[in-house]
Amino acid sequence: MAWLLLAALVLTQIGYPLTEGSARARLTVLTVLLGYLLSVGHALLSRGPRVALALLVVTTGGGFAVEAIGLSTGFPFGAYDYSGALGPKVAEVPLVIPLAWTWMAWPAWLAAVRLTGRIAPGARRFAGRVLVAAVGLAAWDVFLDPQMVGEGYWTWLNPGPALPGVPGVPISNYLGWLLFALVLMALLGPAAGPAATTGPGTAGPGAAGPDDRPMYALYLWTYASSVLAHAVFLGLPASAGWGALAMATVAVPLALSLRGRRPAGELPP
C-alpha cells in the first residue's frame, strides 16, 4: 500500500507545475491528503495503532493548535493570514494545513531514527534524534513557504527580514518552524512508545525490522523534486538554493546511509 500511495503522490506532484489557478490549488490539497494517508498508513501498518494514534495527536493536533495560536498571536512564526484557496477553515486554519505537518513529520522522524541508531541508548540519543528530526522537518519549509506564498495561499503581514532572494517570507517563520518542530519531535517519541524508535537494523542481530523504505523514498523525493521544481519550473531559484542547503543536512546523510549495509548488532533503541 505504501508504495502505491507514494507512486500516486509522485504523479500528483509531477502534475503540479502543469496546472494553474484553482486546478493547482486542488492538486495541492490532493497532494497533502495523499501524503497524510501515506505517513499515517505506514505508521499504523509498520508499528501499530499506538504509534499511529500518537502521530495523529501530536502532529495533526499539535499542527492545528500551533497554526491557530500563530494566526491569533503571531507567535511563533510571525503574523500571517490564509487565503480561501486551500478549502474549509476552522479557527481561520485551513483543515488541510495540520495534515501537512503529519505528512512530513513521520518521514523526518524515521530518517532521524536511522541516522542516530549508532548512538548509545540514553539521553544523548534522544536529544540527537529530536534534533535531527526537527531539522529534517523544519528544513522542508524553506521550500514550502516561498512556493505557497508565491501561489497566494497565505500572506505574511510583516515579511522582513527575509532570506536573500526570497522576499515575502520572514526569517522568523523558519525559526518558528524549528522551535515547534523541536517540541513536536520531543513529544512524539515518548507518546508513540518504543515501537516508534525501532527501525531497520535496530531490532537486534538478524532482525529485519519494519520496512521504512517508502518513508525514506518520500523524504528523498521531496528533497530532489523540490530543488528541481523551484529551480526549473516555478521560477524560484533562490529558494531552490536555500532549500537545497537546508534539507541536505538530513537528506544527504540519509541517502549515504542507504548506500551501505548497517553492521550486524546495531545498538538497540
Query: What is the reported pLDDT for 203?
Result: 44
Domain range annotation of the chain: 2-259
Q: Which of 21, 189, 38, 147 is nearest to 99 (CA)?
A: 38
Beta strands 89-90 and 80-82 are unpaired
How many Å apart are CA 118 and CA 170, to the nearest integer?
37
How many Å apart are CA 170 and CA 156, to the nearest integer?
8
Query: What is the reported pLDDT for 266?
Result: 43
Q: Which of 102, 72, 80, 259 is nearest to 168 (CA)?
A: 80
Q: Which of 223, 246, 199 is nearest to 104 (CA)?
A: 223
CB contact at 8 A, 35 and 10? no
Q: Which parts of the chain sit beneath pLDDT 70?
A: 199-208, 260-269
SS3 of 179, please? helix
Query: What is the reported pLDDT for 208?
Result: 56
How many Å apart are CA 64 and CA 47, to the nearest integer?
24
The number of angstroms, rounded, from the C-alpha of 243 to the middle of its chain's C-alpha atoms is 13
Tell how many helices (H) and how many strands (E) occur in the chain.
9, 4
How many Å apart are CA 21 and CA 246, to the nearest integer?
29
- CB atoms under 10 Å from CB of 195, counted, come to 15
How many Å apart are CA 36 and CA 211, to the nearest integer?
18
Cell numbers 515579511: residue: 159
How many Å apart are CA 68 and CA 75, to the nearest integer?
10
pLDDT tens for each residue of 194-228: 999 986 544 444 445 799 999 999 999 999 999 99
List residues bridging with 90 in a β-sheet. 93
